[in-house]
Structure 1
Amino acid sequence: MSNSLMISPTMLRIEALRQIRNPYTLAFTLGMPVAMYLLFGASMGYGSLPAGNGNVAFYIMVSMAAYGTAVAMSSITSLAATEAGQGWGRQLAMTPLSTAGYAATKLITAVSFAALAMVAVFVAGMLTGAEATDAWRWFACGGIMLGVGLIYGLYGLGVGLFFNSDTAAALASISMTFFAFFGNVFMPLDGVMLDIARFTPLYGYVALARWPLTEGTLTTGQTDPLWALVLNVAVWLAVFVVLVGVGVKRSRARR
């Protein structure tokens, strides 16, 4: 196999250890989603109440896991973009690892930590009474989370390229928390706030992740059609692609 297509196991291991040793990564991508699930899902008395094809604890568990997945994807890819903008590419040129191999390593790391964040919340849910009527709904929610959550890797990449600083990862994570508060993720919204939430970046994604449980029915009794959720994700995907494009031009202009 050509070196240009190879992924370095050594670099993959170093990247994984680097993220595990990073207290910021552990706190925001692993600790915070689990803590928020335990606070709002497990410690409250309403967790065992029915919700769609499961209970309220499962609903909150999926919401927090989706949030953790988006944070992991965006923060780690923003670091990759920042490193590239700060001259890491010139260092890569001195090694057998190609730019494609470097990008693949970062993507694998981001997806792995996104999966780890999701599993951590799911395990907490299993241990504290989160239930669905069928086992396949657990896997369906997880699959949607990881598959659709890849779009937040683009968001993180765009933020990293645009700002090209060590604060890019923090900005990506903090903005995700902001989107979650106003995107019907952390707390049920209604009225005008819900109308606004439907246009935010995390709304469609988290609602799709909940779909195997809720089938689009909100806690307020309203229903989101599947096409509207898919449209939300598609529009934000296009916005993130544009952000990456603008970030690339801005990064090149700084050189």
Structure 2
Amino acid sequence: MNTLIKLEVSRTLRNKKFMFFSLLYPVMLYLMISAGVKTKAPVGDTKLSFALLYMVSMASFGAITSVLVGNSERIAKEREKGWTRQLRLTALPGHGYVAAKIASAAVVSLPSILVVFATGALFKGVRLDAWQWLALIGTIWAGSCVFAALGVAIGYAATGDAVRPIAMIAYFGLSIMGGLMFPTTGFPTWLKHIAEYLPTHAYAGLGQAIERGDTPGGKNLVILVSYLVIFAGAAAWLYRKDTRKS
């Protein structure tokens, strides 16, 4: 499994699209969206300035980009080319393949998180204690595993032609509805209630709590872990289903 992880990481880092979308894209959005905001007043009831709020949102957005979209497309293409069929001829078990995909995706999400944080500190004047920076990096990095598992599930559920639109719908739908691209403070009340139970909202919520110096909420943690179990379970089931077909 370790060999497969190393192979997946090296393949991803050679992909120029990965470098743009997971590294440059969230940074560009962060700088463009926050460029016209000069006030340091809290956004809604978040108790965070716009620069702080969007730093976590765009770091989370970049991590999701690298683990969800790229992961699902690679898996769908590997299935079409027969790569996964070849892997099943080896001693690698099904759960090992799914775990390797999630782990390799999580490894390559780390650079996107670090780049957004560096941008916030250097260009937007974000200042946090050392423990907050470390806690943010660890929390957002670990949380990306949830969306890596979703990427594996989509990769096995969709064909090579359909995987991109399905992944993009999930990607932008969760990002917008979960408040990564727009603060949920401006949502109607009924939409806020829906957003509270989405994995992206819980994902960003953990980071925002750390920025405020608070202990991350147990509700958000439970929501993320629940989605991880659901997505990973779906990925494993779809893998076994694909195995029976071949």
Alignment of 1:81-160 (within 5 A): 81-86=75-80, 87-92=82-87, 99=92, 106-107=101-102, 109-160=104-155
Q: Is the 8 A contact 2:5 2:101 kept in 1?
A: no
The structure richer in helix per residue is: 2
Structure 1, unaligned runs of 5 or more = 218-224
Structure 2, unaligned runs of 5 or more = none
- Which amino acid counterpart does residue 137 of structure 2 have in structure 1? G
Partner in structure 2 of residue 220 of structure 1? none
Partner in structure 2 of residue 41 of structure 1? 34
* 1:150-204, Cα deviation, whole Å (9 max, x unpaired): 1111110000011142552553244122111111222222422211111222111
> Which of the residues 66, 69, 72 maps onto 1:75?
69
Secondary structure (helix, strand or coil) at the match of 1:202 reads helix
CA distance in 2 between counterparts of 1:13 and 1:134 reads: 31
> Which of the residues 226, 234, 237 maps onto 2:228?
237
Instruction: Quickly say closer, same or farther: Cα 1:31–1:128, change in 2 above 3 A.
Output: same
Alignment root-mean-square deviation, CA? 3.3
CA distance in 2 between counterparts of 1:104 and 1:231 reads: 21
- Which amino acid counterpart does residue 205 of structure 2 have in structure 1? A
> Which of the residues 22, 42, 61 maps onto 2:55?
61
Matching of residue 28 in structure 1 with residue 7 in structure 2: no
User: What is the number of residues matched between the two proteins?
Assistant: 238
CA distance in 2 between counterparts of 1:232 and 1:103 reads: 21
Report % sequence identity.
23
Partner in structure 2 of residue 176 of structure 1? 171
* 1:44-89, Cα deviation, whole Å (9 max, x unpaired): 223x445778643122111110111122112233245324523103
Q: Is the 8 A contact 1:61 1:130 kept in 2?
A: no
CA distance in 2 between counterparts of 1:215 and 1:137 reads: 7
CA distance in 2 between counterparts of 1:104 and 1:245 reads: 9
